[in-house]
Structure formats: C-alpha cells, structure tokens
Amino acid sequence: MTAFKLDIDGDGIALITWDMPDRSMNVITLDVIGELSGLVDKVASDAAIKGAVITSGKEAFCGGADLTMLESMGAIYADKVKKEGEVAAAQYVYDESSKLSQLYRRLEKSGKPWVCALNGTAMGGGFELALACHHRVAADNPKTRLGLPEIKVGLFPGAGGTQRVVRILPPADALQFLLKGDQLKVDRAKAMKLVDNVVPQDKLVETAKAWIKAGGKAEAPWDVKGYKFPGGLVYSKAGMMTFPPANAIYRRETYDNYPAARAIMQVVYEGLQLDIDTALRVESRHFAKILRSPEAAAMIRTLFVNMQDLNKGARRPANVPATNLKKIGVVGAGFMGAGIAQVSAAAGLNVVLVDRDQETADKGKAGLHKAMSDRVMKGRMKGAERDALLEKITATADYATLKDCDLIIEAVFEDRKVKADVIKKIEAVIGDKAIFASNTSTLPITSLAAEFKEPKRFIGIHFFSPVDRMMLVEVIMGKETGDAALATALDFIRAIRKTPIVVNDTRGFYANRCVLAYIQESHLMFLEGIPAAMIENSARMAGMPVGPLSLNDETGVDLGLKILRATEADLGAGIVPPAQKKLLEDLVEKEGRFGRKNGKGFYDYPQGQPKKLWPGLAELSPKKLSREQVEAIDVEELKQRFLVAQAVEAARTFEEHVVTDVREADVGSILGWGFAPFTGGALSYIDMMGTKKFVALCKKLEAKFGKRFAPGKQLIEMAEKGESFHTRFAPKKKAA
C-alpha cells in the first residue's frame, strides 16, 4: 500500500491512516479504490480485528474524487462508442463509476464496526466514505468543512451520498443540502446528524476507538429491521408537502438546464421508495448517465480541471522566481479599493490604504469595519477575526508610506487625468522593483503605463465587484509589461485565493466586452417592443444568473451611457446604435435613473421591499406590440440571441488574441459575468453545439438582427474543418 497505513492495536482495533505521499491533499483515485478495497476485505476477514478507524495523515481528510479520473472515463467512453457501440460503452461507464459505491456498501455490510475520524475537511467522495461508516467523529476545527459539492461541477454524489443523506435528514433538508452543494462547519453537521460527535483534535482517534470498544454496532440504521425514514414516506402528507413544491423550486432555480440537479430530484424521490441496495443501484445508473452528459463533461473540464490549472499558475512565467509578498499598497479607499484591501488583509498581507486625505482614508476603513461587523452579528465571522483583519490595514493620506510596498494597486476614479496624477505621486515614492497595478475596467493599460517611468513594471489587475465575493481577477498585459510584473500579479491573486485570467490590452479587455454584448442585446430587444419582464425571464431561462436589465442597474445605467459615449468618441459615430444611446440618455438625463446606486433604474428599489420593474419603462420603447404579437415571440430565439451574442464576442476576442487560452476564456466567462455555467463557458458553448451549427445559427441571426452576430474568419474556418476550440487550441500541459 502507498496511500494508506494500517496499524492494529492491542484491543484489535485497526487504525487506517490515509496519507497519499505525492499529494498535498488526499483524493480518490483508482489506486485508492483498489487499496481501500483490500483493507475492507482484511478487516472483514481477519478475526483478530474487532473494528476499524479511518482518519487522515494530512491537515484535511479528503478533497473528493480526482475528477481527471472521471474526465478520462468520458474520453474512453467516446472511443468505445466508435469501436464497440453505445450499449457496451454505457456499460463500461456504469461498471467503472459504480465501483466506489459498491465498495462503500461492502464496508457498511462488512460485519465489523467502522468509524470515520474526520480530522479536517472532507468533500465529495471523501464525505461519502464518512457517511458509509457506522459512526462519525469530527475534530473541533473551525477551518473544517464537510459537504457534497458535486452539483457545482455538473455531477451529483454517486457513491451513496444521495441515499444515505436522505436516510439521515428529512427529504426537504436533504434536497437543499444536495442541490446547493453547501459546505458545513462541524457544529452545523452535528446538528444535522451528519456527524455523531465533535471532540478536541487530540482526542479524535481515542474517541473513535472508544466507540468501538463500548460495543458500537456494525450496522447502519437503514439496515435495522423497523427503520423509518426521518421525513416519512413519499406518498404521505409530509411527502406531498415536500416533493411538489421542491419540483417548483427546482424549475424556478435551474430552468431545467442542469441534468445533475434533475437527477438528484429523481434519485431521492425513487430511492425513498426502495430498499437501500436497490436505491444505490438506481443512484449508480443515474450517475453513469449524468457522467456521459455534455453538461457534466464541460463543467468538469472548466470548473475543475481548467480552473485548477489556472489557480496553480498555468500562465505564470516559469523564468521568474516566486515572489514573497508581505506588504501591498492600495490607493483609493472607495468601494473597490477598500474591497481589495479587505481580501489582501484576509490573506495575511499588510496593507497601506491611501486616499487624498485622512478623513476619506478613514471612511474607507470604517466602511470595512461596518460590513464585517454585520457579518459578526449574523454569526458568519468572529469579532476577533474582524479585529485581526483590520489591524493589518493602515489608512493614511501619506503617499510616502508606500515606499516599502512590494505591489501597489491603484483603484481611484475611472478618469484618465485622475489616474495620471495618482501614478505620478506613487512613482515618486516607491522603490525601483515595486510592481504597479491599475484596477481599471475600461482604460487601456498601455496608455496608462506611458505615465509610469518603467512600463515593464506596470500591469492591469481588474477586480470585479463586490471584490470579496467575486472569484475572478482579470490581469491585463500592456504592450511593454514584463514577466516580473505578470508573475507578481499572479502570485498576489493566488495569495488572496482568487482565480486569474491573463488578457492582452484592448478596449473593455475580455469580460467587459462580452458582458456589454449581453446588456446591449437586452436594450435592442426592448427597443423592438419586447416586454422587459420577458427579456429578463428569457435570459434566466437561457442560464444567466442575472437578467441583463438587472445587471445594468447593478453596474450603473449612467456608467453604461458614459461607456457608449466614450466608445463613440474613440471609434466614430455609428458604432453605437442611436436608439440604444437615446434609451440610456432618456433614463439617465431625463428620468434621473442611474441604477441601484440611487434606487431607480430599469427597476425600482423600494426600501425594505423586493425590486420591481419600473412601471414607466414601457413608455420609453418606440415600438408597442399587441398582446397577440407578444404571445407570438419565439422565446427560444431570445435565449439564443443572449448566449450567441456573448459567445460570438468571446470568439472574436480569441481571434484578436485578447484572450489567448481557451481555459481562461471559459473560466473567465463563468466566474466573471456568469455565462450560463451548464455550458462550461462561452467557447465550450460553441464546442458543445458544434462550430458548424454555431456558425449557421450566427448567420441566421445576422440576417435577421444585424452584423453584431456575424461570425469571424477563424470561426468560419473552424466550422469548415469541423474543428472545436478545445481540440484545435488545447493548451500544452506543464511538465510535472
């Protein structure tokens, strides 16, 4: 064995320690399954062994399955379809993907008591292993998280998780836990009965062994005669109060775009009517089907494999030694600057927060104090954690305090003159090795770098709002940006636990170009007379998390008008549809509706009440449709327009070498502006449809709605050759 170590004490209790030598965290691989299978057999067959405790030799218990194993299974399946046919290929996926579930059931029915001693975080298949054990003890560690997050990568728990959870929790709670993929703290897990006991770390194994010595039974509750489901039967009063509303909520939240979410609903519903062994086979059949779905393949590739590559520094220059960032400067204590200071301090960095005067700088830090105090009041943070974080932030108006910072991030008002003035003040005091970054969302980095004495040390680091919640950071390379600046930016982003994408300099960079295409499409639909509610709902049906008009309110309708005018000034009249410009002018200048910031935009935001579409909005549309015309609108076409408008713009940025890595294009589209996650991202959406079909759809929409849907030369060429982005532009893996 290499992944596990076995020790049997004088009481005949086996201590199995999971500690993979070549991994920073234990994960489930084929080798692990093989070794654990052998251990289950040994414990079951050796009369000298009275029971087993399984724990980890690492800080965490298990990160879940190595999803590259499942990804490779998909490739083998595709090859088998060609060589042996669909039936044989599907059987292969079922046989392979059900091995873990069958192993856990063998453990559960081994006749010997098993205790899982959770010394740290356990996710996915690792937590399913814990659920299959007869008793679960967790160490009292505030960092530990327990959960089944498979839904977030287009899968669902396929090693018994759905069936054991629904036999521990009432169906409504089980469904919520499975469909949200929540990560629980140990005290919450104990309250939900997913964990039996929480003890100090140094008492963990001792407590686990004591349970076996005290006569712990080698029998799961659901295997005991007379067992009753915690929420009653499906066809009961309680069941009827759960499943019909659960179906409605599922539809409202997913619009049936996620096969894995539908499968969870189905396996829970069916499993509650079956004995555990039959229910586990049902789960395995559905899991094998979901594993073969294009949505799962795309989401695993983008949200696990590719995101992991980017987080580990796939784009970091190999020739630059690791930077050791200790102190950073943030200039601009407004909403964005304060947010950058917060996430930096949370990562353990010392932060100097500078603004034009002491009062403004203090106001920025005070805003952080209030926001985090709200979290303390809600039990999401401890007061000591808040105070420790704020201690790392020094608010000041003195630029000289930036002199020993390794990295300085400018986050002042989005105005070229203001930024140029701030750049001069900063470069006058910082060292000759410090890296300078601008948090700009619209201004070209190359032109801003011209104001700096050494453009090779100048880079763009574009955060998304709100900084503490948005996981993507866009790194913008100016024409003269050097490797040291890029490496420092990527090291900083890794330190604050966010995901970077590296893009080349252009108007709007990558994310803003694509999201503006999404918002523009909603404006043009509105000008065609399509009701605002239909626009918002069809976008959500297409898979977007937020309707485009709502998103426009969040980003600022006045900012949208400013961007349109700046675009027109730089690129010439006619580049912006005049009717779209007039719509925003009417909203901003005539009606004073700037968006959420002043409580009125496309929506009204009454205090303490849900937002509502502004009743006067329809009057701004130059075209009025009859009820019959509205009912005749093709909703499927509206959905296509939203996704194609964004995807074709993403393809253009790729052709123009703004974004140069397919991994970054897809990850950036989901994390940056929420492109329908079930597709795997903007370029994966094209690949999933097939470039030939996508180009044909583009041309159809172009003929009907205009040149914004025109496919580029590269797309047309790929369609003719039958190529996809992820085959033609597959990134080369770094050598291990």
Residues serving a catalytic function are 462
CA 631 to chain centre: 36
Give the integer Cα–Cα distance in Å for 686 and 725. Answer: 8
Angle between helix axes 532-541 and 548-555 (nearest 10 degrees) is: 100
| Residues paired with 576 in a beta bridge | none
Which uninterrupted H or E stretch holds 7? Answer: strand 4-8
Place of tokens 């979290």: 375
Question: Which of 483, 514, 477, 516 is CA-nearest to residue 660?
Answer: 477
Q: First CA to last CA across the chain, in angstroms?
A: 23
Give the integer Cα–Cα distance in Å for 138 and 201. Answer: 8
Give the integer Cα–Cα distance in Å for 576 and 452. Answer: 32
As to burial, measured by CB atoms within 10 angstroms (0-12 exposed, 13-18 middle, 19+ buried), residue 367 is middle
Nearby residues of 583 by Cβ (< 8 Å), 6 or more positions away: 523, 526, 527, 620
- DSSP helix, strand, coil percent of the chain (3-state; round to 5): 55, 10, 35
- Opening angle at CA 46, ends 45 and 50, nearest 5: 110
Give the integer Cα–Cα distance in Å for 51 and 149. Answer: 30
Give the integer Cα–Cα distance in Å for 268 and 273. Answer: 9
Q: Output the 3-class SS for 183-203.
A: EECHHHHHHCCCCCEEECHHH
Give the integer Cα–Cα distance in Å for 285 and 160. Answer: 12
List phi, psi (to 5°) of 218.
-90, 50
Determine if the peptide bond prior to 466 is cis (ω within 30°). Answer: yes
Give the integer Cα–Cα distance in Å for 720 and 718. Answer: 5
| Cβ 661 vs Cβ 721: under 8 Å | no
- Neighbouring CB atoms inside 10 A of 256's CB total 10
- Neighbouring CB atoms inside 10 A of 193's CB total 12
Give the integer Cα–Cα distance in Å for 712 and 731. Answer: 22
Give the integer Cα–Cα distance in Å for 78 and 680. Answer: 19
